[in-house]
Amino acid sequence: MRSLRRRLELGCRIGAFALLGWLIGTSIFRAPRRAVERASDRELLARLPSWTRTPSSVALHGTLDAAPTPVVLAWLSALRHAGHGVTWSGSPPAAVVVAEPVTAPGGGVRVNVAAPANSRVTVGDVAGTIDSAHVAGLGASFTLPLTVDSLIVRVNQQRQAVARPNDVPPRAVLVVGDAGWEAKFVAGALEERGWKVVTRFAVAPNVDVRAGEQPAIDTAHFAAIVAIDSTVAALGPAVQRFVEQGGGLVLAGASAGARSVSPLAAGAVGARVRRNVAANDTIGLGSTGFYPVTSVREDAVALERRASAVAIAARRVCAGRVLQVGYDDSWRWRMAGASGSEAAHRDWWSRVVSSVAFTPALPANEEKTFDAPVAALFGHLGPPRPAPVASSGNVDPRIPLAIILLLLLVEWTSRRLRGLR
Amino acid sequence: MTTEFVFATAQYDSGDWDSAPLLPANIIDTIARYTEINVAPTGVIAPLSDARMLRYPFLYLTGHLPVRFSDAERRNVRRFVERGGLLFIDDHNHDIDGVFHKTATEEIARTVAPLTELPNDHALYSSFFKFDGPPTTSHELNGWGDNLVHKHLLAVQRRGRIAVLFSSKDYSSEWNYHPDSKRFLSVDNTRFAVNLVVYALTA
Amino acid sequence: MSPFARLRTVRLLLAAGVTIRALAWAVVAALTLLLAAAAVDSYAPLALSTRHALQLLAFGAGFATFAALLWRDRSVWTLRRVALWLEERDSSLAYTVVTAVETGDATLVRSGESKWTRTARNGALRAPLIPVVATAVTLVVLLLLPAGAVARLRSPHSGDSIRGSVRRNGSRSRLSPLVARIEPPAYTHAPSSTVDDPTEIRPLAGSVVGFSGRGDAQGIVARVNGESLAASPRGDAWSVRMVAGAKPAAVRFTDRSFERLVVVNAVVDAPPIVTLRLPAKDSVLRVATGSLALSADATDDFGLASAAFEYIVSSGEGETFKFRSGTINGAPITAPGATHASLTATLPLDALKLVPGDIVHIRAVARDANNVSGPGIGTSETRALRIARTGEYDSLAVEAAAPTEEAKNVVSERMLIMLAEALERRRPRLARDSVVGESRSIAADQKRLRRTVGDVVFMRLGGNQSAEEHTDEDSPARAKTMQDLLARADSATNRSTDPIDFQGGESPVVAVNKPLLEAYNAMWDASTQLEIGEPAAALPHMRRALAAIEKARQAERLYLRGRPPQVVIDIDKARLKGKDKGSSATRLPLPASDSVTRSLESRLVRAIELTSRDAAAAIDSLTLLRIDALADDPGFAATLLPAIDAMRRGRGTDATAALARARRSLAGAPLARDSIARWGGIP
């Protein structure tokens, strides 16, 4: 029977040889190392080339305060498909940018940015920053009269780019009303601004002053109808058909009360509001008086209020848009307003018509005019996940070596104490 | 109902601007007779030196005496024209060699631009009634003035629109009578005024 | 001469020598600096300001050298040092001179005095020898420098950038350096000016502008406003001359593959500004006597040629006016190029023979000396001086007057004629009694009208209306009375009173009142026929009466002295009552007022797109855009200049900000909202 001592010596010997064998085995057959590469959104582009050369066992993780650019995202997606574990974490602002053309002569671009509240949104183009806004609600909106090449939007630190949409040359505008100053100056303002205007001014029974060509009232010929007064009733049901097709209708003054258009209006026409204007007051749009929009329909939107009355309201009717503008004396603003009132009157009326003007469907643009980078991030890399923990496949060889030596020492010491060699 | 058309007579400092006091009522009556234009029943007087003259985009100016604008009048007239107003000037002397004609044309050239002949096929002459040119008045050959039948009116045009219209045909005398007297006329001699107003309101 | 006296002479000679040496070295220092600068300038042309600075530096260096050397050799003024100097050159003196100077004992000097002056003279002549030679060498080297190089340093001034050596290196551009010489029109009496390396010049319209550069003229072309101007040789330089027009223009120089753009943005000569000081305001005079003081100031940007007062006297009222005009010269403007003048004069009211109701319009007029685009004429405001009418100051207010009798009578007689004609047309259908009744009714109106006419004539001729009885039997007598009155009134004016003859030559009294008398008689005949129920027979008399009244009305156009009451039209009653109908008309569209702006916008966008690809081309595009915008949109043109300057200096950030401002100026500010608009576009 072996003594306990001899068993101990045998055990140390076996253990030492076993560990030695394990060391030799792991050096020949290396277990995979579980490494993780990390980078922030600012470092990503610089690190990607080196990441591409790492073995696919290496996990890649981005800590993102801003959504990566399309190039970076595509690269990460490619690495993922190549076998890398690609994950991300962080809270980039969920922002969407849409650029659309302004339907008006001279064009322009409207950029709507959906962004979290309190974000700082800056819009520019290749020539530099154009404007910025601090988001109070759901986003920000910019109307840019002149842009160069593509548009660049920053939401906090996140950079997004969209292509500049092609201009949409608008169709003609039909201005209908009794011969009077408002009709004359509205038509004049639109023409001066570059709109093609077709007029129909009633002067006497069966006598009117009109533009030479009077095409059919449809969206192939007209972008919008501006009704100065109830004379629009003479157009009959053509107006409703036009709006339902997608055409725009501006009901100025008390024209919304005309029978053929009242079903389209945003509300009823109230008693005219007259501001108290002293003899020497400067005439502004508000001081010219207006017909308030009363009983605003449920689906209508009140766009402008003066005192406690709604001066401008809008609603959609099928594919078209109707704007009820209570002002009927805006010409006074142009003629007797402060310096610059002529240009202001012209621009205001252009914007009014532009807001309802029919816009034909555009051919598909090769370059995209919208950008939703966070959605794309989710689509390519999935939702955010915590960063994987790095682990190395091999134990530090010094430890088993030390154990082997210890075991051999214990065995030798025991044998020597027994008097053996 | 649209805003009323108000017939405004221009008042200027240097001359007898009110030499045709019955003309406004006569023209108002004429407009009501032939059109459905919403017209105010009385005219107003618009001092050119007051910026409130801009509230009347159609102004009628006449007289016999020299026309010399003050700085304020000149400033307002310039603004009036630039914003789209129409200034109708009629020489009550109907004398192209007279001081009204000479001084008024000089002031207009200085304030706006030089006056040039308006072609007789201009849209003004067919804006309501059809005329072959400016209608002759019964005063052109009355022995006073230059005793000429002026075949053309003069005008300053801005962006294709008449901004200043100048007449040497003495419409001020021709139209300066009580509107009740129209019933004795076989042909209403104020019809051209309808063309003027319709043109101003629609062009 | 005592030894000390001789010593003092030696001292003077030595001091002179030292001074000349210091001066010579100063010259050498200055010339050396100029030489170095000229050498550098001949390879890399120095800016005008740098050359001015170098000039000052050379002068300063020379002065500093002079001062330093004088300071160093100041001991020459001490006799002890002079004595030591002599001792150094003559050992035989054995320090006796120094000892003598120190002790003050001249007797210690025993010999050698006679040689001192000669020695000193030799020493003084030798001292400046080296610096003088150095000066000569420097001058020779300066002469060897390329022509013009020294002049550019010696007397730098505007326009000398093209002076200096002409490099024979054919690959370099001859468009740089460039000099523009502006010669204003002679009438301005302004001096010529020169601009070195211009990118934009602002000459007065009509100035002759000459551009010059180094090198021969062959192959250099300038294009402006579609015209090509070939360069002409001027010595070893080339030159192009043009006249600055009133509108901004871009001059594009071409030298082989090199191009250069210069903007010529002419300043237009403004007309004079004239202010009328006296009379200070419009006024009304009761009596037109005495003289009126006139005073005015005139200013002009370049020079006044003449100034005077103009007046127009309007006499008359209603529609009858007469006008007289004249000029009163203030003090003549004799000083050429005078930009300010004060005029004073007096207007003698007596000489104008003014009568009540006359109006005198006065203004001051000045002309400038512009003989390029015609004299500019400036006028002052006009003052009106009115002579009060008789009775104007009466307390009786003039009420609005009714239409004149003639006007009323014309209307009334026309009405009666129409009624009579209407009766005559209905006569076949009416009973005789009815016809007579209606006819008598018309007759009654005719009588009333006749009386009115008669009253008018009577009053005019000074008769007493109330003294006459208004009966039919009296009417012929009344007419005869009026005839007599007419004759008496006419004789008072020494004219023919033949009542039959209306053919010309009639006096105003006859011309007005004779027709009324005729009308009166015709009305009497008409009434008679109407009374017996014969409207057809009455009509010719009635028409004769109408014609006579018309003639009287034409002879004297009487106008109201007061304002008539305002006529208020009953619109509803008058609405569409006209017999004639109008016809529809065509309205022509208005041209777009901002078509020019659109064009400028698209050009601006293209120029901005160029900045990343070709900065020089972008600068040229923006420069040309600015020139075109100067006339149509000067505000926008002004915003482009900082952007162009920043791009030329290579300051990208400044250029970006400046271009952003230019965009806003042209296309308007963008509209930003802190929320997504519920409905696009409404402010």
pLDDT of residue C164: 60
Q: Which residues of C touch A346 (CB under 8 A)?
A: 593
Is there a single domain that holds both residue A63 and residue A139? no
Is there a single domain that holds both residue A149 and residue A187? no
Tell me the mean pLDDT in the region A181-197.
Answer: 95
Q: Where are the beta strands (DSSP E) in C35-183?
A: 178-183
pLDDT tens-digit map of C638-670:
999 888 988 888 877 778 888 888 888 888 888
pLDDT of residue C401: 44
- Specify the fold of B8-202: Rossmann fold (3.40.50)
pLDDT tens-digit map of A315-359:
999 999 999 999 999 999 999 998 889 999 999 999 999 999 998
Disruptive mutation site among C274, C319, C385, C413 for chain B (greatest number of B CBs within 10 Å): C319
pLDDT tens-digit map of A258-296:
999 999 999 999 999 877 666 666 678 887 889 999 999
Could you give the CA distance from residue C525 to residue C537 in angstroms, rounded to a whole number?
A: 9
Confidence label for A416 from pLDDT (cuts 50, 70 and 90): confident
Compare all CA atoms of chain B with the CA of C591 and give the residue at the minimum distance: B159
Q: Which residues of B touch A342 (CB under 8 A)?
A: 82-84
The verdict on residue A386 lying in a domain is no
Between helices A70-81 and A373-381, what is the axis angle to 10°?
10
Could you give the CA distance from residue C570 to residue C640 in angstroms, rounded to a whole number?
A: 60
- At A80, which CATH number? 3.30.370
Tell me the mean pLDDT in the region C214-240.
Answer: 89
> Does the structure show a pLDDT above 60 at C561?
no
Tell me the mean pLDDT in the region C96-116.
Answer: 82
Domain limits for position A13: 4-30+394-417
- Give the gap in angstroms from C-alpha C555 to the nearest C-alpha of chain B: 10
* B202/C585 Cβ within 8 A: yes
Residues above pLDDT 90, as percent of chain C: 28
Among B171-185, C222-236, C387-401, C549-563, which is the least confidently predicted range?
A: C549-563
- Nearest by Cα to C8 from C70, C69, C78, C67: C78
Q: C214: which strand partners? A: C237
The verdict on residue A388 lying in a domain is no
- C568: which DSSP letter? P
- Neighbour tally for A20: CB within 10 Å: 15
Disruptive mutation site among C389, C569, C576, C577 for chain B (greatest number of B CBs within 10 Å): C569
Could you give the CA distance from residue B193 to residue B134 in angstroms, rounded to a whole number?
A: 11
> Does the structure show a pLDDT above 50 at A249?
yes
Q: Where are the beta strands (DSSP E) in A179-299?
A: 197-204, 207-211, 222-227, 248-252, 268-269, 293-294
Size of interface A-C (CB pairs under 8 A): 155
Confidence label for A365 from pLDDT (cuts 50, 70 and 90): low
Task: Give all chains having 3 or more CB-to-CB distances under 8 Å with chain B.
Answer: A, C
Tell me the mean pLDDT in the region B103-121.
Answer: 96
**Helix, coil or strand: residue A124:** strand
Compare all CA atoms of chain B with the CA of A344 and give the residue at the minimum distance: B83
Could you give the CA distance from residue C323 to residue B15 in angstroms, rounded to a whole number?
A: 13
Sign of CA dihedral C285, C287, C290, C291: positive
Beta strand pairing call for B58-63 and B8-11: parallel
- Which amino acid would we find at residue C339? T
Tell me the mean pLDDT in the region A186-201.
Answer: 94
The verdict on residue A387 lying in a domain is no
Whose structure tokens read 């109908």?
C581
Sign of CA dihedral A293, A295, A298, A302: positive
Choose the closest CB to B2 out of A182, A207, A279. Answer: A182
The verdict on residue A389 lying in a domain is no
Q: Which residues contact A125 (CB under 8 A, 6 or more apart)?
A: A147, A148, A149, A150, A151, A152, A164
Tell me the mean pLDDT in the region C21-29.
Answer: 92
Whose structure tokens read 């929009």?
A293
Is A231 or C680 the better-scoring residue by pLDDT? Answer: A231
Is there a single domain that holds both residue A41 and residue A80? yes
Is there a single domain that holds both residue A135 and residue A252? no
Assigned token pair, C458:
């009577």
- What value does the mean pLDDT of chain C take? 82
CB C229, CB C238: distance < 8 Å: no
* A304/C674 Cβ within 8 A: no
Is there a single domain that holds both residue A193 and residue A153? no
* B68/C580 Cβ within 8 A: no
Could you give the CA distance from residue C301 to residue C185 in angstroms, rounded to a whole number?
A: 13
pLDDT of residue C295: 93
Q: What is the pTM of this model?
A: 0.72
Q: Is A345 on the interface with C (CB under 8 A)?
A: no
Whose structure tokens read 């008669």?
C454
* A192/C593 Cβ within 8 A: yes
Tell me the mean pLDDT in the region C126-143.
Answer: 86
- Give the gap in angstroms from C-alpha B37 to the nearest C-alpha of chain A: 6
Tell me the mean pLDDT in the region B64-86.
Answer: 95
Burial class (CB in 10 A: 0-12, 13-18, 19+), A67: buried
- A273: which DSSP letter? B
Distance of CA A178 to the CA centre of its chain: 43
Tell me the mean pLDDT in the region C250-254.
Answer: 92
> Does the structure show a pLDDT above 80 at C507?
no
* C582/A203 Cβ within 8 A: yes
pLDDT tens-digit map of A372-415:
889 999 999 999 988 887 665 556 778 888 999 999 999 999 88
Is there a single domain that holds both residue A230 and residue A281? yes
Is there a single domain that holds both residue A352 and residue A212? yes
Is there a single domain that holds both residue A265 and residue A124? no
- Nearest by Cα to C682 from A104, A154, A126, A273: A104
Q: C672: which strand partners? A: A142
Q: Which residues of C touch A208 (CB under 8 A)?
A: 584
Confidence label for C502 from pLDDT (cuts 50, 70 and 90): very low
Burial call A235-272: b when 16+ CB within 10 Å, e when fewer = beeebbebbeebbbbbbbbbbbbbebbbebbbbbbbee
pLDDT tens-digit map of B2-18:
688 999 999 998 989 99
Q: Which residues of B touch C560 (CB under 8 A)?
A: 21
pLDDT of residue A165: 87
Q: C260: which strand partners? A: C253
The verdict on residue A398 lying in a domain is yes
Could you give the CA distance from residue A193 to residue C598 in angstroms, rounded to a whole number?
A: 10
* A329/B159 Cβ within 8 A: no
Disruptive mutation site among A126, A135, A146 for chain C (greatest number of C CBs within 10 Å): A146
Is there a single domain that holds both residue A102 and residue A84? no
> Does the structure show a pLDDT above 60 at C494?
no
> Does the structure show a pLDDT above 70 at C496?
no
Could you give the CA distance from residue A302 to residue A268 in angstroms, rounded to a whole number?
A: 13
Is C545 or C516 the better-scoring residue by pLDDT? Answer: C545
Disruptive mutation site among C576, C581, C587 for chain A (greatest number of A CBs within 10 Å): C587
- Nearest by Cα to A294 from A305, A278, A280: A305
Could you give the CA distance from residue A112 to residue A120 in angstroms, rounded to a whole number?
A: 14
Between helices A181-192 and A341-356, what is the axis angle to 10°?
80
Distance of CA C199 to the CA centre of its chain: 27
- What value does the mean pLDDT of chain A take? 89
Is there a single domain that holds both residue A228 and residue A139? no
- Total of domains in chain A: 4
Choose the closest CB to C590 out of B19, B98, B160. Answer: B160
Compare all CA atoms of chain B with the CA of C584 and give the residue at the minimum distance: B128
pLDDT of residue C633: 86
pLDDT of residue A32: 57
CB C341, CB C333: distance < 8 Å: yes
Compare all CA atoms of chain B with the CA of A331 and give the residue at the minimum distance: B55
pLDDT of residue C505: 42
Q: Is A135 on the interface with C (CB under 8 A)?
A: yes
Q: Is A229 on the interface with B (CB under 8 A)?
A: yes
> Does the structure show a pLDDT above 50 at A102?
yes
pLDDT tens-digit map of C394-428:
544 444 444 454 555 555 788 888 889 989 999 99
Could you give the CA distance from residue C352 to residue A261 in angstroms, rounded to a whole number?
A: 71
pLDDT of residue B148: 82
**Helix, coil or strand: residue C676:** coil
Could you give the CA distance from residue A113 to residue A143 in angstroms, rounded to a whole number?
A: 11
> Does the structure show a pLDDT above 80 at C342?
yes
* B159/A204 Cβ within 8 A: no
Is there a single domain that holds both residue A71 and residue A188? no
Tell me the mean pLDDT in the region C478-487.
Answer: 60
- Give the gap in angstroms from C-alpha A278 to the nearest C-alpha of chain B: 11
- Give the gap in angstroms from C-alpha B39 to the nearest C-alpha of chain C: 8
User: Which residues between 92 and 111 in chain A have a beta carbon less than 8 angstroms from any beta carbon of chain C?
Assistant: 102, 105-106, 110
Could you give the CA distance from residue C559 to residue B193 in angstroms, rounded to a whole number?
A: 23
pLDDT of residue C512: 54
The verdict on residue A204 lying in a domain is yes
pLDDT of residue C318: 74
Is there a single domain that holds both residue A217 and residue A341? yes
